[in-house]
Each structure stands twice: as structure tokens, then as C-alpha cells.
């Protein structure tokens, strides 16, 4: 069983983004800093997990247009204007969605609904995942050097606490009556 432990870690890291992306990346970076598995393998596995957990969301939007109500919604003037903006500014849109909590899923579904070029969508999703993973891994490794060996175990707690707090605040703001 001890020989299979790294593979269990890698499988968990790969599947993590299918549940909650930010927590999965923070967990992978924490495992990397604490040397619980090979950092290059963790980096590749979490990046691929992010990529595969995101590209299928495009097809939800694509399939939605088979529904008459969704098709009618997509033909509204404001939606058509948004479609044009998303297509013209796809790079900015997808990078923004990657870094703004709660924006990824609706943005990726909208890309499918707007019939954004799928290979281009996939390439940009990969680049945004690579950028995000690189940023988090660098941040955790720099912080790991600053706090030293004895306090590296605190990094995952801090990271997950900050992510949970930020997402909680956004959720509460959205639920607040206007």
C-alpha cells in the first residue's frame, strides 16, 4: 500500500477540480510545498485536472440551444451583444473567468451557447489553467521558503481559509436583498 500512496494522491488531485477547483489547486500546491509527492507531477496533474474539468462545460451551453426557451433567450438583443463582446474579447473573458470566483461555470457554458470556436476555447482554457496553477504553486513555494520548514503545514490551512472566506463573502453579497 505505501507504494500506491503517491498514485492515490495524484488521482485525488486530478479529480479535485471536478468538485471544487480553487481548493484542489491549493491542496496540490500544499502537497507540493510539504513534499508529500513530486511537485512536477503534482503540477502537471492539477493542470490537467483543471483543463478536463472545464472543457466539458462548453457542451452544456451548446446543448442548451436545442431547447426552444434557451434558443429564444439566445436570440435576445442584449444576449447577441454579449455574444459579440465575448467572441471579440475571448482571451480577456476566459482569463477573467479563471480568476474571478463563481464566474467560470457560467462563462464556459455561455461560450458553448455562443458557439465559440471549440479548439480555440480549449487552448485558452489550458493557458488559463497553466497560468493559475503556476501562480498558486509559485506563491506557495515562496511562502514556504519564507515561513520555513517548521511552519509549512500552516500554508494549506491559510490558503483554504482565505479561499473559503472570499467565496463565502461573495455568496452572502449575492444573497443580500437589494
Cα–Cα dist 68/133, whole Å: 39
The per-residue pLDDT of the chain, averaged, comes to 83
DSSP characters for the chain? -GGGHHHHHHHHHHHGGGT-HHHHHHHHHHHHHTTSS-HHHHHHHHHHHHHHHHHTHHHHHHHHTTSHHHHHHHTSHHHHHHHHHHHHTHHHHHHHHHHSTT-HHHHHHHHHHTT--HHHHHHHHHHHHHHHHHHHHHHHHHHHHHH-GGGTTHHHHHHHHHHHHHHHHHHHHHHS--
- Pick left, alpha or beta for residue 38 (phi over 0 → left; psi -120 to 50 → alpha; otherwise beta): beta
pLDDT in tens, 73-120: 777 888 778 888 888 999 999 999 998 878 899 999 999 999 999 999
Q: Which of 113, 115, 132, 111 has the alpha carbon at shortest distance from 46?
A: 132
pLDDT in tens, 139-172: 888 877 766 565 656 666 666 676 677 677 777 7
Amino acid at each position: 500500500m505505501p507504494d500506491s500512496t503517491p498514485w492515490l494522491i495524484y488521482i485525488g488531485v486530478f479529480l479535485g477540480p471536478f468538485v471544487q477547483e480553487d481548493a484542489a489547486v491549493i491542496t496540490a500546491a500544499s502537497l507540493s510545498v510539504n513534499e508529500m509527492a513530486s511537485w512536477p507531477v503534482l503540477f502537471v496533474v492539477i493542470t490537467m485536472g483543471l483543463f478536463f474539468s472545464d472543457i466539458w462545460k462548453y457542451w452544456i451551453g451548446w446543448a442548451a440551444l436545442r431547447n426552444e426557451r434557451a434558443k429564444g433567450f439566445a436570440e435576445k438583443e442584449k444576449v447577441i451583444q454579449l455574444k459579440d463582446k465575448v467572441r471579440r474579447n475571448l482571451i480577456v473573458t476566459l482569463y477573467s473567468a479563471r480568476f474571478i470566483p463563481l464566474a467560470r461555470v457560467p462563462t464556459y457554458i455561455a461560450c458553448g451557447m455562443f458557439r465559440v470556436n471549440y479548439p480555440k476555447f480549449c487552448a485558452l482554457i489550458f493557458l488559463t489553467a497553466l497560468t493559475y496553477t503556476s501562480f498558486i504553486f509559485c506563491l506557495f513555494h515562496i511562502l514556504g521558503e519564507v515561513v520555513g520548514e517548521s511552519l509549512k503545514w500552516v500554508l494549506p490551512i491559510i490558503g483554504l481559509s482565505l479561499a473559503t472566506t472570499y467565496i463565502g463573502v461573495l455568496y452572502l453579497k449575492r444573497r443580500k436583498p437589494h
